[in-house]
């Protein structure tokens, strides 16, 4: 039953790791109440997946493999898009907060040399700039509870088309009416899922503790790397659904070194959505996405100064010009 346990472990890791890292990222970015919406979305995805899986397992009709891959691929790409949006939005909010602090400090310094009137004006400007920065950050971070829930729903729900039917087939095998019924398959797959949940929680604790110095950059970078695997996995699902071509164009095959049903393949597949025989298109997406996303996320040039900071700099220059004119006269 080791294969059944590893199946549950892999599927649980693919869904759970992203959820726990997402909670750590949002909490480190100022969303201390992020766990509620994220866990609610993940729980809803589990409930919907189990309900649909039961309907398909015990119902009169069963979807084709292409239909399942189409659903999984669509959900994976949608989840990757929302994960990217979340990481960049929280990163920009943190950047605006840092720019507001730096602008306030600069205004205070420039106003201190302009006399009592200039100092008072600078203090007022500093207060308004700091308040605007704080308010903008709170609005940006506080308005995303619904998006966080939907992101978690998609991240977990994308595993539903594959995991839920397997769980319900194990339930059917444990039924007394089933010939040679046994609880072993169901027990082992549930143990795999519980192990994945425990590992995800431990990773969350580590991410929170080690990321206090710079949580947005560290957990955001980890999320983007994991999102690359989600996106590439979605592309592969759409290829298997015959919506995209290139399924026969295998980039490489390391199945003998990293068997997908072994321990190494389970952990790599669960953490990074790694497949030992990816297609060329899948590898291309896998390689390009994290490079471009991390470059934009970590580079201050990519985000640029906000309009508010530009306006504040213009105000500072005018104040300095007026102070110089007063000294000359």
CA proximity to 194, closest of 229, 223, 167: 167
Domains of the chain, by residue range, sit at 2-328
Greatest alpha-carbon pair distance for the chain in Å reads 102
- Which tokens in the block code for residue 12? 């649980």
Task: Quote the CA–CA distance of 83 and 222 in Å, as a whole number.
Answer: 11
pLDDT of res. 173: 76
Residue spans of beta strands (DSSP E) within the chain: none
Query: Cβ(107)–Cβ(129) under 8 Å?
Result: yes
What are the tokens at 306?
A: 């906000």
User: Which residues touch 5 (CB under 8 Å, ≥6 apart)?
Assistant: 188, 189, 191, 192, 195
pLDDT for 234 equals 94
Give this prediction's pTM: 0.74
Q: Are 274 and 229 in contact (CB under 8 A)?
A: yes
What residues pair up with 187 in beta bridges, in sequence order? none
What is residue 92's predicted lDDT score, i.e. its pLDDT?
Answer: 62
**pLDDT at residue number 308:** 52
Identify the pLDDT of residue 96: 54
Per-residue pLDDT at 254: 94
Label residues 207-224 b or e (16+ Cβ within 10 Å = b).
bbeebeeebbbbbbbbbb
Residue stretches of the chain with pLDDT short of 70: 32, 57, 60, 91-144, 175-181, 210-216, 300-317, 319-329
């Amino acid at each position: 039953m080791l294969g059944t346990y590893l199946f549950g472990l892999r599927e649980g890791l693919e869904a759970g790791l992203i959820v726990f890292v997402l909670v750590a990222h949002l909490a480190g970015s100022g969303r201390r109440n992020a766990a509620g919406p994220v866990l609610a979305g993940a729980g809803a995805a589990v409930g919907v997946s189990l309900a649909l899986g039961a309907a398909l397992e015990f119902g009169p009709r069963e979807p084709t493999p292409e239909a399942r891959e189409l659903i999984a691929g669509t959900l994976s790409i949608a989840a990757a898009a929302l994960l990217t949006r979340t990481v960049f939005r929280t990163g920009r909010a943190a950047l605006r907060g840092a720019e507001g602090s730096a602008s306030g400090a600069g205004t205070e310094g420039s106003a201190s040399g302009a006399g009592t009137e200039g100092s008072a004006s600078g203090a007022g400007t500093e207060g308004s700039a700091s308040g605007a920065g704080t308010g903008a950050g709170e609005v940006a971070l506080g308005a995303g509870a619904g998006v966080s829930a939907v992101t978690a729903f998609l991240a977990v729900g994308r595993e539903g088309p594959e995991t839920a039917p397997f769980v319900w087939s194990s339930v059917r095998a444990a039924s007394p009416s089933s010939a040679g019924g046994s609880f072993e398959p169901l027990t082992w797959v549930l143990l795999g899922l519980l192990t994945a949940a425990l590992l995800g929680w431990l990773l969350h604790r580590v991410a929170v503790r080690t990321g206090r110095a710079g949580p947005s950059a560290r957990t955001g970078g980890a999320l983007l790397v994991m999102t690359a695997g989600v996106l590439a996995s979605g592309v592969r699902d759409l290829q298997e659904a015959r919506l995209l071509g290139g399924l026969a164009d295998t980039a490489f095959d390391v199945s003998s070194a990293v068997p997908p049903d072994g321990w190494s393949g389970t952990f790599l597949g669960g953490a990074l959505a790694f497949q030992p025989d990816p297609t060329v298109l899948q590898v291309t997406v896998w390689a390009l996405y994290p490079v471009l996303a991390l470059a934009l996320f970590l580079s201050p040039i990519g985000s640029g100064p906000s309009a508010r900071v530009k306006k504040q700099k213009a105000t500072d220059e005018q104040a300095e010009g007026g102070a110089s004119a007063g000294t000359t006269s």
